[in-house]
Structures are given as structure tokens and as C-alpha cells.
Amino acid sequence: MYDVIAIVGATGAVGRIIRQLLEQRNFPYERIKFLASERSAGSTITFKGEEHPVELLCPEAFADIDLAIGSTPDPVAAEFVPWAVERNCVVVDESGYWRMDPKVPLVVPEVNPEALANHQGIIASPNCSTTQMVVAMKPLHEAGRIRRVVVSTYQATSGAGVAGQAELKEGSRAALDEQTYEPSCFAHPIAFNLIPQIGSAKYEGYTSEEMKMVYETQKIFDDDSIQVCPTCVRVPVSNCHSESILVETERPISVSEARELFAATPGIVVVDDLSAGRYPMPHECDERDEVFIGRIRRDLSCENGLAFWCVSDNLRKGAATNAVQIAEHLVARQAAV
């Protein structure tokens, strides 16, 4: 057990869910600290029925902390994580800053928990769109080795934070009232619209969000030969990312075998009955920790191809839940030593 733990970015949207999960899952610790920027430092947080002060995020704050879960923007993570590691604090980091560092394991506990053995004080949690996809890929990759993935994402506005969700609500209200509304969070109106760009322009017309899915998938599976062709789209949904995924495997996997593999995998829930209108939808997956899969079918264009639909709460499994699960695995490994 880690005696003193901390949540960095404790007052943010993901930080709030991390707090809820630590309480609900009875995460073991002797003392807990909540750290945040100057804007939130000095306020109080209610946790397990007690009031806790929010302390300023600074180097000295990590003097007595054994384990920290951080949910901060990249520039903040770049600065605070070395402060923590220098003071022998292990950090589970949600930001994108450390993910592709070759010395930092990038972990989804259902997929590559063995990577935790090689950490040097920092463990990275993947991008939310990558996380749900690799959970879905794992049983198929073990059964037939995935060679290629074509994925189109339908990403909720919560992926852009509270401001993104507010802009969806306010923009929708304005559109329904036939009033003008100038977006500030997104580059274009999100209400009654789709935006086929998330992140900045990168390699050969792909965006930064799309290239994260390429590089992170290859790192998590430790296999640079897996080819990933992603298209990431922001959609007018408040929460939960959806993905249309097509995988090509080395050996053919039938629909019935795929359904059995998915159903037998911890963390996956199969909802797949097209005739009854049953398939995963954001509205029904909200505030759930699992990855939901449906519309499983043979790819008509590829002999060894499978297509399926995948939905997950991006604030939970895509962020907070995955980080807490990593922390739980660290505790279990520590207890086993």
C-alpha cells in the first residue's frame, strides 16, 4: 500500500471522477492530498464525508507523497512529474506529454499490465480514443493477430472538457432559437454539425489526435507492424466516444468466435442484436466503466476482416477509470513483492 497518495488536478472534470472512483473502490491509503493550480488552491474538497484543503501544486508538495494520479494539461504535466519523481513519488499521468517517451510505459490494464514492471516512476495513460479501441482489439489480436485497423471515431464534446459540453448546449439552444452563436471552444459550430478535425494538422493530412491512435496503439501492443488508419470526428454528443472499427487479422475469425472472445474479456460488454435494435449508444454507456461492443459483422471487402461498433465513457474508462485501475495494479504488484 502507498501510505500517502495525491490527486493532481483534483478540481478538474476528470479529477472529480478520480475522487469518486477512489472512494467507491475503497482504494487503500493512509492519507490523501489534493493538489491544483493557484486558481483552485485554498479551496476545499469533500471526500469521504470530510473536508480537505486543496494545496498548491509545487515541488515541495511531493515531499511526503508516495503515489500521485495526475490529470492536467501537457505543459503542467511536463513540469510537475519530474518534481514528483525526484522525490520518489510514482506518478500515473493522464496527459499526453509522457506517452511516447521510450522510458515510460503506456498502460491499459486489460491489455498490457505487464508493462508496469518496467516503470521508472512514471506510468502514462493513453488517449481516450485509443484506450477503448485497444481494449476491443486485445482478444482479437491474441486469437488471430491484427495486421490492420481502420477506425472512424465519433468523439463527444466532453473530450474538450467542460467548455466543450457547455458550447454544445449553448450552441444548440441558440440554433433552436434561430440566434447566432460564436463558438470559442471549437473552431466551428458543434450544434447540429460534425467537425472532421480533432487536433492540429500533422503527418500527410492526419491530425494530432489521429496520429496518437497510430503511435499509441503500436506502443501498447509493442508491435510497430500493426497498421492503423484513423479518422477522428467531433460530434454533437455530450459524453461517450463511439468508434466504427474494422480489423484485418492474420487468420480468419468468424463473427460467432469474435462475439465469444469479446464476451469472455473482462472490461467488455457485448450488446449486439440488430433485429431487436440493441447496440451500444452513448446515452446508455454514460457513467459506465466498461467498453461496449456491438454490430459485429464480417467485412464484405476483406477475407480476414471484422467490423464492429464500440462505445465507451471517455471521461471514465478513457481517462479517470484507466488511471485508477493502473494505480490498483501498482498496489497489487507492491503487495506481491
Residue 1's pLDDT is 77
Helix (H) or strand (E) holding 295: strand 291-298
pLDDT tens readout for residues 189-208 = 999 999 999 999 999 999 99
Per-residue model confidence as pLDDT tens digits over 78-137:
999 999 999 999 999 999 999 999 999 999 999 999 999 989 999 999 999 999 999 999
The sign of the dihedral angle between the CA atoms of 161, 162, 167, 172 is positive
| DSSP for residue 117 | G
At residue 265 the predicted structure's pLDDT band, cuts being 50, 70 and 90, is very high
The architecture (CATH level 2) of 130-314 comes to 2-Layer Sandwich (3.30)
- Is 144 a residue whose pLDDT tops 80? yes
Catalytic residues: 128, 241
Is 90 exceeded by the pLDDT of residue 334?
no
Average pLDDT over residues 168-176: 97
Burial class (CB in 10 A: 0-12, 13-18, 19+), 82: middle
Domain ranges of the chain: 4-125+319-336, 130-314
pLDDT on residue 195: 98
pLDDT of residue 198: 98
Return mean pLDDT, the chain: 96
55-65 tens-digit pLDDT: 999 999 999 99
pLDDT of residue 192: 98
Q: In what order do the strands lie in the sheet with 268-270?
A: 227-234, 146-155, 241-249, 305-312, 291-298, 268-270
Which triple of cell numbers denotes residue 133? 479501441
Query: Which residue in the block uniquely carries the three cell numbers 465513457?
Result: 313
Instruction: Give yes or no for residue 75 having a pLDDT over 80.
Output: yes
Q: Which fold has domain 4-125+319-336?
A: Rossmann fold (3.40.50)
Band (pLDDT 50/70/90 cuts) for residue 4 is very high
pLDDT band, residue 336 (cuts 50/70/90): confident
Q: What is the pLDDT of residues 201-229, one digit of tens each?
A: 999 999 999 999 999 999 999 999 999 99
